[in-house]
Chains A and B, each alone.
Chain A
Amino acid sequence: MKAAPVWQRKDTLWLAVWIGGLTVLGLWDVAFLNRPALLRLASASWNTAIIGCAVVVCAFVFGWSSALALHALDHAGRRWGYFVVTFFLNLIRSVPQVVGILLGYVVLTLLIREEMVGSQTTQLMAIALVISIFVFLEVTDLILERIRYFRKLDFFDAMLVSGVRESRIINLDILLRNSRAHLVHKAIQLFGSSVFLLCSVDFIVSVGLSTDVSLANFPPTLGGLLATMDSKQDILAISTVLTDPLSAPRLLLEHLQGISTAFTIVFTLLCVFRMSSAFVARRRLE
């Protein structure tokens, strides 16, 4: 079957819409937003993107390792080992993500105070690590499901009797060659959830815990920037448009920091979701 041209693929289209939308917003901000706010917004967006990507990588490392460990324990007949690992994974699953990440932030603050986590890059990676602990189970479940599905097929046993190692069949033939679309879809989803969780926890930390988990400890992100008084006042101005629609243009000129930050978060979440759904539909992953 001939593949659809790039411009007819909805997922690619949404990727273009996302990049295009953020580029237009960036150009608008360069033209109308004051320089300090522009620098803060650029830095926050960059940090959020970096953490989002790092979460995807960490979640894949954790998810892949835990799935292989579970599979190995299950097939080696080590019921107790399997039970213990499953128990801990289920424990992580039962803790609401945002609560777990918030507790992780408290630990991170203590580490920063003890100067065990120093540079900004280390802090970004540490945040990514904390978030990935609470999202990697999605990767584990996906990989286990793919292995389970392919084990039922004849090709698995055929390759085994041909002398191919089981680890090679799972990692190369099942996951890399025959589950690439599923893994790409999961990576897109994880990026979306990590941006959502990061922004939410940073917002909470900045609004509610400002004296304990000071934002000065953590690198700026979109959630933290949105929690500043200026941004909150900018967002509040949205409601004035409902009563006075003619004031809408002022939003884009006078309340740009908060509006840009909120728009970047919401637009990213929307586009990532659309990309993910379109990818599922195109590759028929249902």
Chain B
Amino acid sequence: MVTFIIRRLIATILLLIVVSMITFAIFFLIPRLAGQNSYQLATQYVGRNPTRAAVLDIETKLGLNEPIYVQYGRFLKALVFGEHYNSGTSSTYCPPPCFGYSFRSQQPVWPQMVSDLPVTISLAVGAAILWLIGGVTIGVISALKRGTIFDRFSMGVALAGVSLPIFFTGLVSLELFSYKWPIFPNVTFVPLTTNPLLWARNLVLPWVTLAFLYAALYARLTRAGMLETMGEDYIRTARAKGLNERTVIVKHGLRAALTPIVTIFGMDLGALLGGAVITEHTFSLNGLGQFTILAINNQDLPEILGVTMLAAFFIVIANLAVDILYAVIDPRVRH
């Protein structure tokens, strides 16, 4: 088990390096291959209508005229040790971990992402708990009561949940529960440490909206998984032992049915931590998703690069967590 985790850790670190190479190449190598020279590249890092001097200044600071591997080396070094962008005439400091420096907004990218992270984490983790519990519970009951009114109704609602986009369900819920009947007025983010009650209350609508989409998917997945496992021979063995039905369902059935759920749960949560773009935008929550939208609108390349790297990091880490969880759940994976 320990060797398994170490092997997975090494693989994860290698994967992260590859991911950073590819992301870096997209931003710095591909434009070159497409025929842009370093001066044209540098114009994109300065504000609109830049002076020639400002562009040359950035070109030197970012080292855009140097070979690509030197640039990548600087990029990695900046992540660990920070970076002094120096053009001779002016110097800009980006403290570690330096995910890049936005010359448009005149600030490093990392602190901006860090300040937005609590919003995204609050949103994603809260919704994840809701949809995991809700979806799995409904899926299990639906499977056990297959063909009943409960099953048909919940699977119908699940179909709606999968089909309806968040900007629709989110706006409807805002309209109903924030304006018409103001049970949850003023949906704004309040840090957990400031006021836990208000934090939770203001996040209820985004949580439920986001969870509705995912819970629907999870309910269908769980139902299918449970229907399959409850027909397995080892379930019959468990019943033949004289176990009560609850133990048979939870300990023997659900345990096996949960394996694919764990996989997809890790991936979904990892992806959401990189920014729940539509939900954040719908509810005007200033998390990583909103940050991404702003960065794209402003064509702020260092910010886009930074948030891309962070999102990739979350997904790779989620993958690692899933692999380890898998080994915990299924002993056959360990060997």
**Physical interaction between A and B:** no
